């Protein structure tokens, strides 16, 4: 395979063995490229790598605006925007769900002795459930439609503000339902939750522009979670009351039947003491009656407890750390944002500079192919412009038709 003379440095040529005998005093002419061999391949690779690095460095230095000026401008812009944005305040609350026993759980141990499949489990839910519950759309919907009253500022005569989160977030969509949806999404972004399964706690943090509003929203979310728990407990207790009431009536009927059987046996066998068989039959009937009495007693207790749980309105959440008014604003993260902006802008500027150098080199090596690429690029831009113009016309027509 023939090598290109321009691509091979003269210093790496070496004399090859000629097929014809040439005298020693012959003029020192340059050997044909196709008969020359390269000396020191490792040196050639190192030299090529050095040349490529130097070319890349030179390409970057030829465009200082892209590789130096652009990253500095972007970094300063990010710093200025971060400093101009309003500060945020975060208020957090930590609570622990109470694991309450249902009305049937106290009856479970006795039911197990009777062979009834009634598990002795509590009605408490896991912290992960409450972590998902506090982000449920129903709770967030109620939170954004709640009217909050808070003060803005630290002075005694600070301004008092009032409004729902839809209004305070400044949602300006003409559709009221869409404004609520936007407010729910914004609150979901401003809300962070962490569930600790080891100790069974849930931490919820709310971030807003005003410290008093952050605390008010956190308190409202705790109130909604507690309200959901109370309603769920009352609904479950009502269902258990109906079930236990039915079983209690059945147990009383069964007890009455067993007592009638025992009474009939005693009336028929007045002298059962003298007969071992009659004494054994009496003891068996007596055990059945005792078991039914215990069942009726336990069912009656469960029924009364279910009635109490149905109307109980005590809190079911243990607030470990209540929401507090944040004193200091949240960190801006200025240094981190500046470093990220600097790195990304430096990469973008370097990519643009290398692309420009590649295009310039390609135009010199193969002008025809480069010209064709430029034509394709221009055609692509024209097609994109046509699509954008058509989309704008369609949107204008739809807007005129809706109005």
Chain segment 22-43, per-residue pLDDT in tens? 445 544 444 444 444 444 444 4
- Expressed in angstroms, the distance from the first to the final Cα of the chain is 73
What 3-state class would DSSP assign to 52?
Answer: helix
Q: What is the pLDDT of residue 159?
A: 75
Tokens, residue 233: 């407990």
Cα–Cα distance measured from residue 220 to residue 165, given in angstroms and rounded to the nearest whole number: 12
Give the model confidence (pLDDT) of 173-189 as tens digits. Answer: 888 899 999 999 999 99
Name the region of 115 (left: φ>0; alpha: ψ -120 to 50; beta: rest): left
pLDDT (average), residues 287-297: 89
Alpha-carbon torsion (369, 373, 374, 378), positive or negative: positive
Question: pLDDT confidence of 312, banded at 50, 70, 90?
Answer: confident
Give the model confidence (pLDDT) of 226-263 as tens digits. Answer: 888 888 888 888 888 888 888 888 888 888 988 888 88
pLDDT at 118 over 50: no
pLDDT (average), residues 50-63: 72
- Report DSSP state, residue 330: P
Cα–Cα distance measured from residue 403 to residue 397, given in angstroms and rounded to the nearest whole number: 10
Where exactly are the structural domains of the chain? 40-82+333-383, 87-321
Query: Count of alpha carbons within 13 Å of 309, Cβ hemisphere only?
Result: 25
* Percentage of residues in the chain having pLDDT higher than 70: 76
Q: Does an H or E element contain 2, and which?
A: none
Where helices occur in 87-210 by DSSP H, the ranges are: 108-113, 127-133, 137-144, 165-168, 176-190
Place of tokens 């954004």: 144
pLDDT at 306 over 90: no
Number of CB atoms found within 10 A of residue 360's CB: 13
Cα–Cα distance measured from residue 349 to residue 347, given in angstroms and rounded to the nearest whole number: 6
Place of tokens 């005792």: 290
Cα–Cα distance measured from residue 188 to residue 207, given in angstroms and rounded to the nearest whole number: 10
pLDDT at 46 over 80: no
Tell me the whole-structure pTM to 2 decimals: 0.59
Cα–Cα distance measured from residue 142 to residue 134, given in angstroms and rounded to the nearest whole number: 11
What 3-state class would DSSP assign to 202?
Answer: strand
Alpha carbon distances (Å) from 7 to 4, 48, 231, 366: 5, 10, 83, 16
Question: pLDDT confidence of 86, banded at 50, 70, 90?
Answer: confident
Cα–Cα distance measured from residue 297 to residue 251, given in angstroms and rounded to the nearest whole number: 9
Cα–Cα distance measured from residue 305 to residue 105, given in angstroms and rounded to the nearest whole number: 11
Tokens, residue 335: 């240094």
């Amino acid at each position: 395979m023939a090598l290109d003379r321009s691509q091979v440095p003269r210093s790496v040529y070496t004399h090859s063995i000629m097929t014809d005998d040439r005298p020693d005093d012959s003029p020192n002419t340059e050997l044909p490229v196709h008969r020359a061999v390269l000396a020191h391949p490792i040196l050639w690779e190192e030299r090529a790598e050095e040349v490529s690095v130097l070319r890349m460095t030179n390409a970057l230095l030829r465009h200082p605006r892209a590789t130096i000026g652009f990253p500095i401008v972007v970094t300063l812009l990010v710093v200025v925007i971060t400093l101009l944005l309003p500060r945020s305040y975060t208020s957090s609350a930590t609570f622990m769900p109470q694991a309450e026993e249902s009305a049937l759980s106290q009856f479970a141990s006795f039911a197990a002795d009777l062979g009834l499949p009634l598990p002795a489990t509590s009605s408490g839910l896991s912290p992960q459930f409450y972590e998902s519950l506090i982000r449920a759309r129903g709770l967030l919907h109620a939170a954004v439609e709640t009217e909050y009253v808070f003060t803005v500022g630290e002075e005694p005569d600070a301004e008092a503000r009032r409004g729902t989160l839809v209004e305070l977030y400044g949602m300006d969509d003409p559709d009221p339902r869409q404004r609520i949806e936007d407010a729910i999404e914004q609150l979901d972004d401003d809300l962070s939750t962490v569930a600790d399964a080891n100790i069974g706690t849930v931490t919820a943090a709310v971030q807003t522009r005003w410290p008093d509003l952050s605390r008010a929203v956190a308190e409202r979310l705790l109130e909604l979670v507690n309200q959901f728990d109370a309603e769920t407990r009352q609904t479950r207790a009502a269902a258990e009351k109906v079930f236990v009431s039915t079983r209690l009536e059945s147990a009383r009927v069964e007890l009455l039947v067993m007592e009638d059987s025992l009474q009939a046996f005693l009336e028929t066998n007045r002298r059962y003491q003298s007969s071992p068989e009659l004494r054994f039959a009496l003891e068996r009937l007596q055990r059945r009656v005792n078991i039914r009495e215990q069942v009726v007693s336990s069912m009656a207790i469960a029924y009364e407890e279910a009635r109490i749980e149905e109307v109980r309105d005590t809190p079911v959440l243990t607030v470990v750390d209540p929401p507090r008014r944040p004193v200091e604003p949240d960190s801006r993260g200025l240094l981190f944002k500046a470093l990220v902006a600097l790195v990304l802008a430096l990469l973008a500027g370097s990519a643009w500079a290398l692309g420009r150098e590649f295009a310039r080199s390609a135009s010199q090596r193969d002008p025809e192919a480069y010209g064709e690429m430029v034509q394709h690029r221009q055609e692509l831009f024209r097609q994109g412009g046509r699509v954008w113009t058509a989309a704008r016309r369609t949107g204008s027509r739809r807007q005129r038709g809706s109005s």
